[in-house]
Amino acid sequence: MVRRKPEEIQEIKKRLLEHYPQAHTELNYKNLYQLLVAVMLSAQCTDKRVNLITPDLFKKYPNVHALAQADIDELKELIKSCSFFNNKAKNLIKMAQMVEEKYGGKIPEDEKELVKLPGVGQKTAHVVMIEYFGKNLMAVDTHVFRVAHRLRLSDAKTREGVEKDLVQAFKTDLAAIHQAMVLFGRYICTAKNPKCDQCFLYDLCDSEDKRPLKDS
């Protein structure tokens, strides 16, 4: 795959930032604890579904201490409409217990420490660091992965590879670009039937998924 020219990358960056100013996650949260739990639940699950689950979840388990003492079956019942709820329930409790035991009940604010928590991989840690702290990091979910390939920003086969390519391509404003690419992929550059007639990057796209515009 022929990669983008530097001027094309800058144009893509410019349009993404202009089209999605002050973009942020669509997950509902009030603090770092709630954000981390919501992001953990969102893996292979929609933000919309997570937002339906978390009000009751946070009411029953309002903090790390409460979650660390949660009954596994009761927690599973609360999150059962979420994909992979069995594993997520186990990881949520283990995460909270580790935060209690190793970090004095305070969720670490450092990426290297975050990824040590059960159920928290690099992507989850980066999403939290991007959203809560505005760190200059890139996180690659299914939307960012798809958009990066369609716009010829990466041809890597793994999320880690795509992340590396995007960081190298954009360098700065990574947090804002991540949020913008998520929203762009979720609502315009969709997996099926992309809304090319609404696309502000149409002229820069030569993806095989690109759809011809209807005559006006």
The pLDDT, as a whole number, for residue 146 is: 96
pTM: 0.88
Supply angle C-alpha 93, 95, 97, rounded to 5: 70
Express each pLDDT in 179-201 by its tens digit: 999 999 999 999 999 999 999 99
Catalytic residues: 123, 141
Do 177 and 24 meet the contact criterion of CB atoms below 8 Å apart?
no
**Domain 6-23+138-204, CATH:** 1.10.1670.10
Q: Token pair 């409409």 is at which residue?
A: 81
- Per-domain residue ranges of the chain: 6-23+138-204, 32-133
Express each pLDDT in 21-61 by its tens digit: 988 899 999 999 999 999 999 988 899 999 999 999 999 99
The pLDDT, as a whole number, for residue 215 is: 58
The pLDDT, as a whole number, for residue 16 is: 97
CA 198/CA 104 separation, integer angstroms:
49
Residue among 19, 24, 12, 49 nearest 133 (CA)? 24
The pLDDT, as a whole number, for residue 213 is: 80
User: What parts of the chain have a pLDDT lower than 70?
Assistant: 1-2, 215-216
CATH class of 32-133: mainly alpha
The pLDDT, as a whole number, for residue 216 is: 45
